Amino acid sequence: MLWETFSVVRDLSRLHEIASVLIRYGWGDFVRVLGMGSVLERAGRILHWKTTENEWDQLEPQVRFRLALEELGPTFIKLGQLLSTRVDVFAPAWIEELEKLQSHVPPVPFDTLEADVLAILGMPIEQVFVDFEREPFASASIAQVHRAKLLDGTKVVVKIRRPGLERKVEADLRIMQHVARLAEHEYSEAKRFQPVQMVGYFRRSLLHELDLLTEAHHMVRFTKNFADDDTVRIPQVYWEYTRPGMNVQEELLGIVGTHLAQARESGLDTKLLAQRGASIVLKMILVHGYFHADPHPGNVMYLPGNRIGMIDFGMVGRLTEFRRQQLVNLLDALTHNDESDLIQILLEWTGEAEIDEVKLAHDVADLMGNYDHLQLKDVRVASLLNDIASLIRDNGLVLPADLTLLFKALITLEGLGQQLDPEFQLSPLMAPFVQEVILRRYTPDALMQRGRRGVKEAFEVVAGLPRDLARLMREVRRGRLRIDLDLKRLDTFGRQLDRASNRITMGILTASLVIGSSIVMTVDGWRFMGFIGFILAFLNSLWVIISIWRSGN
């Protein structure tokens, strides 16, 4: 508790800035609910709750939210981009607005970065690069990118992290963690969204993105995964110059995915590019379980020979074998109109949340009715995923974090394919991968492996049963059998009762000291002890007052 208090005090300036921006964009009630305002006002940082009418008042809430995140800087921009993947939480209008969040910001002058670059290289720039463009050709909230040439003439791009970013991000993350714990502890309706877990996931993701060395490791892994596929290119990493603050990689010479007209004019087959790009990402998801989480046009290059180049591996998604099997089961249940299997999968994703299973079954039946006449190759994946997300929102379900990235990646991928080819559909390309995964389940090796694992687990349970029963009976005979109940509200009540008891005790003790000291002051020779008693009573009173003031109650 002391450490949390210290953290909040340490970040008061940033907390004041965040609260002020949120209030200005019309989110003052949100600041009040989270208790941010009371903390700042007690610290003497007065907030102007009443704002004059301004241009923001006429905007939709989701627009004001997006503008506030943009003004708050890199951490909150990245948070908004993560929230844009939560199709299970936000309505389509909010998702559409959050997708507009851009990390593009004015570049930092290279003079500001030069000292960091020299420290990383350990030598003058001229000894590594024969040509280095001091003006960046791309600039984002976390890093900016410069073109350069190595001494042997190889064209590279140098990605350099912005200076002083880590301290501000760490402060923002501490504030987010504090707010998430408060929301989950005090508001039961927030618990189903698992804010603490969501912030923890966001923290790991953002810190990995800040570490440009991590991105380089991602690139090497993708290169190995596609070593036998000459339709895809991943830039080579130059490890001798790559550190957490700088990433030096090969420059792919091609056409950026946003320049469709140029791709067509150059003679590239856009239909083939759409099919190859989709096959690459589906292979990442369903075969490797390790995928580029943001395959938007700006992160794709069209190369000669209708090859696909992929860049910017700061955000990647991972799927376990178990999760991939669940995804395949979901698609299989939809194509075979198996309502019970689909319900079971959704309940597994949700965990222990309380669900109205009757309503869920009714909504699943309606969903099935929209797809029971279609084969998998005829399904529009984006429409299907949006329908599933709508069903999840309406029933109070929550998608696991890895699946939110997957949903977002698939929707983005189908949109990119349709830009290249208006007749493009993702599902026909997905069908062979799904069938292959299903067939692999029933190969002799797979069946033998599952059987061997099942027998081993059953044997371990049976072998350990006598020991567990003996231990249970021994505890019963000794009268030491204990049942632990995790009742968080009772824990909170207990802590509040302890604090109240402490205050009452200190109050009684203070009153006793005042009365006793008053009596002692009347006795000659003991007046000094009475004075000491009054000082102790004053200190006790001060402690009680500060305790009540800090609690807000």
Q: Are 163 and 257 in contact (CB under 8 A)?
A: no
DSSP assignment of 263-301 equals HHHTT--HHHHHHHHHHHHHIIIIIISEEES---GGGEE
Tokens describing residue 19: 């609260």
Tokens describing residue 176: 């987010």
Q: Cα-atom radius of gyration of the chain, to the nearest Å?
A: 30
Q: Are 547 and 540 in contact (CB under 8 A)?
A: no
Query: Collapsing DSSP states into helix, strand and coil, what is residue 374?
Result: coil
Looking at the DSSP bridge assignments, the partners of residue 139 are 144
DSSP state of 122: T
- At 99, which helix (H) or strand (E)? none
d(CA 373, CA 308): 35
Burial of 223 (0-12, 13-18, 19+ CB in 10 A): middle
In angstroms, the Cα distances linking 57 to 31, 49, 53, 70, 165 are 17, 14, 7, 17, 32
Single out the catalytic residue among 294, 312, 332, 363.
294
Q: How many helices (DSSP H) and strands (DSSP E) are in the chain?
A: 23, 11
Q: For residue 275, how many other CB atoms are within 10 A of its CB?
A: 20
Q: Are 145 and 158 in contact (CB under 8 A)?
A: yes
Q: In the annotation, is 211 catalytic? A: no
The catalytic residues are 294
